[in-house]
């Protein structure tokens, strides 16, 4: 009988004590490409943008949360997911408050309460402050806020799973010049979350309060200063090592590169808008494809300016294709479901009815759980 591979085999699949297959431990040689996590998260975000059904949105959040719990590391930047969840809850609450104070275009017959209405000048016609608050407008605001919160949580999942340094290492050569600015932007939020946790622990050990407005004001400035200093230090170290240094190329090549890259990015933006908007679903995909081809051609041509070599570049393997493909599959199926069953994905609020869970779109969202089973299991080595 052929023996089973040992637990934690370096590159191949491993088996538990009961002989069941499990993903291998993450090492430097088999770590999942950081771009795969972002493509997976963007696929979930695209699916969330096509629906306001709170049951489907909750399912998307649950899928993202389960994958993060199963595959995030112990690195400081991996702790930012909770902050994005809190930010999403804050967005929902803020959307409800704005709906109550500023009103809503949604007509309603179920009046919950009436706020004192503030008279506004004649130049503010069409705007009201206060007045009648109906159940229909609050439910509509809740659906709208939940969609935006789900988008933020999907971005938070990508931040918690994708190593920023490895992601920047995988950038195309034409984007090296923007790498220093990108690394500051991408490491600021994780560093800020880590500094908040560190300062709150220090205040708790000293017997000082960690909640309330006064504590937030005392913690806020050191957190912002420390996070920005650490991000700038990383960017300075990259600049000192020659990150972004380029070679001279003919002016014609430089102009062609700029035209292809700029045209491709504009095409991708227009195509993405077409996919997200209900009216542009027909032209969105072709325009997105053309823009992607132009952008890739520009990045390929711009790579000639790079004189930087890569040490042990991350490889895009089968597991990366499975992770990215699962997010793309969820997005494609939800986009199709939005055109086939719009009532199921966008429940109405007039008349006010309870939302129903459409079965096959819900099953499509569950495809997003695939990374929790195929991505390498985090280890101490992969956290660095």
Q: Report if residue 53 sits inside a domain.
A: yes
Domain boundary among 261, 287, 305: 305
pLDDT at 64 over 90: yes
Shared domain for 285 and 347, answered yes or no, is no
Q: Report if residue 132 sits inside a domain.
A: yes
Q: Report if residue 367 sits inside a domain.
A: yes
Q: Report if residue 160 sits inside a domain.
A: no
pLDDT at 332 over 50: yes
Total domains present in the chain:
3
Dihedral class, residue 55 (left if φ above 0, else alpha if ψ from -120 to 50, else beta): alpha
When mean pLDDT is compared across 179-188, 206-215, 371-380, the lowest value belongs to: 179-188
On average, the pLDDT of the chain sits at 77
Domain boundary among 219, 246, 273: 246
Q: 3-class secondary structure for 100-164?
A: HHHCCCCCCCCEEEEEEEECCCHHHCCCCEEEEEEHHHHHHHHHHHHHHHHHHHHHHHHHHHCCH
Q: Report if residue 269 sits inside a domain.
A: yes
Domain boundary among 305, 321, 337: 305
pLDDT digits (tens, 9 = 90+) for 215-254: 666 777 777 777 677 767 766 776 676 665 566 667 777 7
Q: Report if residue 162 sits inside a domain.
A: no
Shared domain for 179 and 227, answered yes or no, is yes
Please, are residues 56 and 363 in contact by the beta-carbon 8 Å criterion? no
The pLDDT score that the predictor gives to residue 213 is 67
Shared domain for 44 and 138, answered yes or no, is yes
Half-sphere exposure of 291 (CA within 13 A, CB side): 19
The more confidently predicted of residues 304 and 45 is: 45
Shared domain for 31 and 143, answered yes or no, is yes
Q: Residues of 232-253 as b/e, b for ≥16 C-beta within 10 angstroms?
A: eebbeebeeeebbeeeeeeeee
* DSSP-derived secondary structure letter, 75: S
Q: Which residues contact 155 (CB under 8 A, 6 or more apart)?
A: 41, 45, 84
Shared domain for 96 and 113, answered yes or no, is yes
Shared domain for 231 and 346, answered yes or no, is no
**What's the Rg (C-alpha) of the chain?**
24
Most confident of 51-60, 193-202, 292-301: 51-60
Domain around 71: 26-76+84-154+313-384
The pLDDT score that the predictor gives to residue 228 is 72
pLDDT digits (tens, 9 = 90+) for 255-300: 887 788 788 888 888 877 776 665 555 677 788 788 888 887 877 7
Shared domain for 318 and 289, answered yes or no, is no
Shared domain for 148 and 32, answered yes or no, is yes
Q: Report if residue 17 sits inside a domain.
A: no
pLDDT confidence band for 20 (50 / 70 / 90): very low
pTM as predicted: 0.71
Shared domain for 177 and 239, answered yes or no, is yes
Shared domain for 64 and 112, answered yes or no, is yes
Number of residues in the chain: 384
Q: Report if residue 3 sits inside a domain.
A: no
Question: Closest by alpha carbon to 183, among 241, 121, 228, 224?
Answer: 228
pLDDT confidence band for 206 (50 / 70 / 90): confident
The pLDDT score that the predictor gives to residue 99 is 86
Shared domain for 36 and 128, answered yes or no, is yes
Q: How far apart are CA 51 and CA 324, in angstroms?
A: 21
**β-bridge mates for residue 25, sequence order:** 377
Shared domain for 88 and 189, answered yes or no, is no
């Amino acid at each position: 009988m052929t023996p089973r591979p040992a637990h934690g085999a370096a590159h191949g699949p491993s088996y538990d004590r009961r002989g069941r297959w499990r993903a291998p431990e993450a090492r430097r040689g088999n770590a999942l490409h950081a771009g795969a996590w972002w493509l997976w998260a963007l696929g979930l975000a695209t699916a969330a943008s096509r629906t306001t059904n709170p049951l489907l949105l909750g399912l998307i959040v649950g899928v993202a949360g389960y994958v993060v719990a199963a595959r995030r590391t112990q690195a400081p930047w991996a702790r930012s997911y909770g902050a994005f969840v809190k930010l999403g809850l804050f967005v929902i609450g803020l959307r409800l408050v704005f709906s109550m104070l500023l009103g809503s275009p949604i007509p309603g017959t179920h009046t919950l309460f009436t706020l004192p209405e503030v008279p506004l000048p004649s130049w503010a016609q069409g705007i009201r402050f206060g007045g009648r608050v109906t159940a229909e407008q609050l439910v509509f605001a809740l659906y709208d806020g939940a969609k935006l919160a789900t988008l933020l949580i999907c971005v938070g999942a990508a931040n918690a799973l994708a190593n920023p340094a490895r992601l920047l290492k995988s950038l195309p050569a034409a984007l090296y010049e923007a790498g220093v600015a990108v690394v500051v932007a991408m490491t600021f939020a994780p560093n800020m979350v880590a500094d908040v946790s560190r300062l709150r622990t220090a205040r708790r050990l000293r017997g000082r309060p960690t909640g309330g407005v006064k504590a937030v004001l005392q913690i806020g400035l050191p957190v912002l200063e420390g996070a920005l200093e650490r991000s700038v230090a990383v960017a300075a170290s990259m600049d000192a090592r020659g990150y972004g240094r380029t070679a001279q190329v003919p002016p014609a090549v430089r102009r062609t590169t700029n035209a292809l890259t700029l045209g491709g990015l504009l095409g991708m933006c227009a195509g993405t808008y077409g996919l997200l908007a209900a009216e542009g679903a027909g032209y969105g995909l072709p325009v997105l494809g053309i823009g992607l081809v132009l952008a890739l051609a520009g990045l390929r041509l711009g790579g000639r300016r790079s004189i930087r070599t890569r040490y042990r570049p991350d490889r895009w393997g089968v597991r990366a294709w499975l992770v990215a493909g699962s997010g793309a599959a969820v997005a494609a199926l939800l986009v199709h479901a939005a055109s086939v069953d719009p009532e199921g994905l966008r429940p109405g609020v007039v008349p006010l009815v309870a939302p129903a869970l459409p079965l096959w779109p819900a099953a499509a969202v569950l495809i997003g759980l695939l990374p929790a089973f195929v991505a390498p299991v985090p280890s101490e080595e992969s956290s660095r």
